[in-house]
Amino acid sequence: MKASPGARSWIAAGVRHELLTRVLPALRHDMAAPMSVIRMGLLMLKRQASAPAVDEAAWEERIALVEDQVVALVSGVRSLRDWELAVSDDGITRSALVAQCTGLMRTAFEFSGIGLQVGDGLEPEEAEPRFPAGAAMRYMFLGALSYLHDSAPQISAIRVEAEGADALRFTAAPGASDAADPMKQAHRAPRKLAIDVIALQSLADDLGYAVAVDRHTVRLTLAPA
């Protein structure tokens, strides 16, 4: 039976949820790191406040450190809005998209024995064009990475390269099988939650992007179809 439009939307929502779940450890780390520094800074301030003589220079330095970390923490919390499709944004450049998404997934992929490589031509440039709907493109980028990660168990790296002015190509490089390594297998999604070609295509259809997929490559057009 052919899925209804509502059912297809639920499928795409499930894919987005799975992708967000995969980046949550990195997002949590980015927000937890300032908290650790703030706690240490406050502890030092308490010690300095109880000292017989207050070192004003050290006091001001600790306060400035705490203030900087509060700004970083607020920025991290606000960044969660970047994942809400309903929130309008000012888009994102191709280089920023690549840097952000590879940064979020690099550690998890390395645990699976898979390196993330970025090709030439994806460095930030002056007056670089912005593509609309940054949240949607983040999900598409992560979907392409996760498809190759989940679908090809014998790969050593995934390379992201610029293709033309408005597309990206993701290529899986063959490598030794990790089937016998329980640590690497622990970081792969369970088979029922793997991002397969149907899941990736459902996400692309729902968000309005064009993807060309085969077993070892994905081509993603950044401008909505």
| pLDDT single digits (tens) 59-105 | 778 788 888 888 877 777 777 787 888 777 888 999 999 999 999 99
Overall average pLDDT of the 204-223 stretch: 94
Output the CA torsion sign for 135, 137, 140, 146.
Answer: negative
Q: What is the pLDDT of residue 5?
A: 65
> How many C-beta atoms surround the C-beta of residue 32 within 10 A?
11
By the 10 Å C-beta count (0-12 exposed, 13-18 middle, 19+ buried), 106 is classed as middle
Higher-scoring residue by pLDDT: 126, 52: 126
Give the mean model confidence (pLDDT) for residues 8-30: 89
Say yes or no to pLDDT of 153 above 90. no
Distance CA 146, CA 141 (A): 9
**Angle 78-79-80 (CA atoms, 0-180°, nearest 5)?**
90
Angle between helices 197-207 and 5-49 (to 10 degrees): 90
**Does residue 38 surpass a pLDDT of 90?**
no
Cα–Cα dist 44/59, whole Å? 9
HSE of 62, CA atoms in CB hemisphere, 13 A: 18
pLDDT value for 108: 87
